[in-house]
């Protein structure tokens, strides 16, 4: 979290959740949340949850927010859906470090003052109730819900997860066939790259990715079992690919250098183990395989992480803080 914003939040008596990049609390009786955007110090989202009272309808508040966007230098955009005000701040230019926090402070004081003067009421962003509000995070997005609405959202997420679990392992046989077919593409790539004289191990990367795609295409969900199967198949096919390359080398060697013996490709394949007893060849093969495995792990890691997240449907939900009801102006 940008240290000046953190300091400002603390001075304002807001709570600071450094790990989540959130600071929140009451300003002028309204609950506001300042959210640090990841990756850069100079970007924050500000949220305020309130619905219109009897004085200003939603369009009037939108107009007001538009005016704010032109008045506050670092306020890039605003939106309001009748329950949630969102304001995006970004520090630009070389003087932003000096003027950013005063700009943020000015906006927060104005917007909460505006809400107060116009009778906007803190509310649940889903049903609009003013009672029993809490700040929640659902899959990294902040929401203000009443506990009833949160239960509903959490329930839907639980259902989704359960449904995905129930789909089970999908069609494992289909998956194995798909992974084998996919890995054959990797084998072809490995052999072709080898013939072209580049690092054939690059094929390892392609092999594991193709195997996983193949598994998904014919087997469905790539779960822990699917990932294990595709990894075993990929590693096995890595050896097949390297073996084929050696066979081609042996075949070439026989037919190009020793014209006296004619040798079929199958015969060359049978002779590969003989050549592997040569320490020099064995070392080169070992190097190829090692690089192939490393690239395979690299290729698999990202895919596994992503696949696992999207397939298990595991979504983090948590309550961040209870929201004390603000002072109301009538």
Please give the size of the binding site for Zn ion, defined by CB under 5 A.
5
* Nearest-approach distance from CB 37 to Zn ion, in angstroms: 27
What H or E segment, with its residue span, contains residue 72? none
Of 124 and 285, which has the nearer Cβ to Zn ion?
124
Check residue 1 for interaction with Zn ion (CB under 5 A): no
d(CA 291, CA 27): 58
DSSP 122-153: ---TTT---SSEEEEEETTEEEEEEHHHHHHH
What is the pattern of x (binds Zn ion, CB under 5 A) and - over residues 84-123?
A: ----------------------------------------
Check residue 149 for interaction with Zn ion (CB under 5 A): yes
Q: What angle do CA 216, 217, 222 make, to 5 degrees?
A: 10
* Nearest-approach distance from CB 147 to Zn ion, in angstroms: 8
Check residue 124 for interaction with Zn ion (CB under 5 A): yes
Give Dmax over CA atoms of the chain in angstroms.
104
* Nearest-approach distance from CB 138 to Zn ion, in angstroms: 13
d(CA 296, CA 306): 16
Check residue 161 for interaction with Zn ion (CB under 5 A): no
Contact 177, 229 (CB under 8 A): no
Of 50 and 146, which has the nearer Cβ to Zn ion?
146
Check residue 126 for interaction with Zn ion (CB under 5 A): yes
In the numeric block, which tokens belong to residue 142?
């902040």
Exactly one of 9, 120, 146, 180 binds Zn ion (CB under 5 A); that residue is: 146
Check residue 144 for interaction with Zn ion (CB under 5 A): no
Exactly one of 127, 284, 290, 294 binds Zn ion (CB under 5 A); that residue is: 127
Of 67 and 156, which has the nearer Cβ to Zn ion?
156
Check residue 319 for interaction with Zn ion (CB under 5 A): no
CA dihedral sign, ordered 142, 148, 149, 151? positive
d(CA 171, CA 318): 34
Give the binding site for Zn ion (CB under 5 A).
124, 126-127, 146, 149
């Amino acid at each position: 979290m940008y240290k000046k914003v953190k300091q400002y939040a603390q001075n304002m008596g807001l709570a600071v959740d450094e790990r989540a990049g959130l600071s929140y609390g009451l300003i002028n009786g309204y609950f506001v949340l300042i959210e640090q955007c990841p990756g850069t110090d100079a970007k924050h989202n500000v949220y305020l949850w309130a619905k219109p009272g009897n004085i200003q309808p939603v369009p009037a508040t939108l107009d007001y927010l538009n005016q704010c966007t032109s008045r506050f230098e670092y306020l890039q955009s605003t939106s309001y859906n009748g329950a949630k005000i969102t304001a995006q701040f970004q520090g630009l230019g070389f003087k932003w470090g000096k003027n950013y926090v005063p700009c943020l402070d000015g906006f927060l004081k104005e917007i909460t003052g505006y809400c107060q003067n116009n009778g906007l009421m803190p509310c649940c962003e889903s049903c609009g109730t003013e009672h029993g509000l809490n700040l929640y995070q659902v899959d990294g997005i902040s929401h203000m819900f009443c506990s009833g609405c949160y239960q509903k959202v959490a329930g839907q997420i639980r259902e989704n997860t359960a449904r995905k679990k129930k789909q089970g392992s999908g069609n494992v046989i289909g998956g194995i066939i798909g992974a084998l077919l996919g890995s054959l593409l990797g084998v072809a790539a490995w052999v072709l790259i080898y013939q072209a004289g580049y690092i054939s191990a690059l094929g390892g990367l392609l092999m594991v990715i193709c195997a996983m795609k193949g598994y998904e295409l014919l087997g469905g969900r790539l779960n822990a079992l699917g990932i294990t199967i595709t990894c075993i198949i990929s590693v096995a096919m890595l050896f097949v690919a390297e073996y084929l390359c050696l066979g081609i080398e042996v075949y070439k060697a026989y037919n190009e250098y020793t014209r006296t013996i004619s040798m079929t490709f199958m015969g060359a394949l049978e002779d590969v183990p003989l050549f592997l007893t040569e320490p020099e060849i064995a070392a080169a093969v070992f190097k190829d395989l090692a690089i192939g495995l490393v690239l395979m792990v690299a290729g698999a890691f990202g895919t596994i992480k992503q696949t696992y997240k999207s397939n298990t449907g595991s979504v983090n939900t948590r309550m961040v803080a209870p929201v004390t009801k603000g002072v109301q102006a009538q």
